[in-house]
Structures are given as structure tokens and as C-alpha cells.
Amino acid sequence: MRMSVRQSLLAILDQGPCYGYQLRAEFDRRTGSTWPLNVGQIYNTLERLERDGLVERGEADEQGHVYWAITDAGSAEVAGWLSSPVERGSGTRDELAIKLAVAATLPGVDLAAVFRAQRAASLARLQELQRSASTATATDGPEQLARALVIDALVSTADAELRWLDQAEQRIAAHPQHTLALELSTDRPKRGRPARVVV
């Protein structure tokens, strides 16, 4: 996610120099205000982009705004980003998947309660997004189109999460609870990183 913020800010700067608050406002306009960024995050990203030679810091104007401009290397990076597909990681760092995987292996956890609480929260999120989607029409202009695209993606993700919860609950239900519990291992792991599992 951090990479897409970095690349998105760079792509906006490819349209012309901006100062920090302006860059945040432009990011909001182009993402339907669905991913709020704080100004500190913007400036940290700009400083990293400057360090990497992708943007240059200008002088402050009479209002004290410091404008940032993209370099040729930055423009090349934007072109590469826009022409490349987004690669999904081979492993998972999904907090919900990890939480349920760990909960399923802990003795004494009321998994049904865990699923009920998550399903209620996920359903409420889906309904909230669906209400937002019903007000987001893609025909009103570029800002509305950007908002509609992001909300559609969020609705699809929330819907998929509910379907995955059903699958996960069915998978767990196929096992007696006592066969799932993992006691702490008596093996003493060696120092260093664990072997990477490719999924």
C-alpha cells in the first residue's frame, strides 16, 4: 500500500509542481477521499522521493508554500508504474486471515463467537459501502468516476470477505474442535529467519 501512495503522489506531480497540502487535496480528489493521508505522511514520502532523485524541492513562495517538482527519473518511474500490473504478494499478511488461523489453533477459543463478531462487522462495512456506492455515479465527472471506481473495489472486497468467512467457518466445522488445538511445541527453534513458505 505504501508503494501505491508513493507512486500516486509521483504521478500527480508528473502533472505539475505541487506543495504538500495541495498534493494531499489532489490525492483525495483522485481517490474519492476514500484513503485519507495526513500531511506528515505526504512530506515524509516527498523527502524519500527527493532522496531517491525522483523529485526536487523548490523555493518557498510568498505564502511559504514549498513546491515539489518531478525529475526526469520520476517521470520515468511513473510511466513504468502505470504500464505495469499490480503484483499481489505470494504470501498473506491479511490481519483477518492470520487472526482466524491463530484463533482456530488455540485451545478454549469460542470460534463461533469470533466468526459472529467478524461477520457482523464485515456485513455492516459492506452495507455502508453499498450505500456509498448507490450515491457514487460514474457519469458526473472525473472526481465522481474516481470515487465510484474505488468504492466498487471496496464493495467487491467486502463481499469477498463475507464469502471467505463462510468458507472458513465450513472448513473449521469439518474438524472436531479438539483436533484443531495446538499445544506449545517443545521443539527449540534455531536462530535466524524461518524457512519461507511459498503459497
pLDDT tens, 5-26? 899 999 999 999 999 999 999 9
Reported pTM? 0.69
User: Is the confidence at residue 99, as pLDDT, over 60?
Assistant: yes
Residue 178's pLDDT is what?
57
C-alpha to C-alpha distance for 20 and 26, rounded to whole angstroms = 10
Grid coordinates given for 101: 488461523
User: Is the confidence at residue 3, as pLDDT, over 60?
Assistant: no
Q: Give the dihedral sign, CA 120/121/126/128.
A: positive
Average pLDDT rounded to a whole number, residues 40-58: 95
Query: How many percent of the chain have pLDDT more than 70?
Result: 85
pLDDT band for position 1 (cuts 50, 70, 90):
very low
Query: How many percent of the chain have pLDDT more than 90?
Result: 44
Buried-state track 73-109, b at ≥16 Cβ within 10 A, e below 16? ebeebbeebeeeeeeeeeeeeeeeeeebeebbeeeee
H or E element that contains 158:
helix 142-173
Average pLDDT rounded to a whole number, residues 134-144: 72
Neighbours of 47 (CB within 10 A): 13
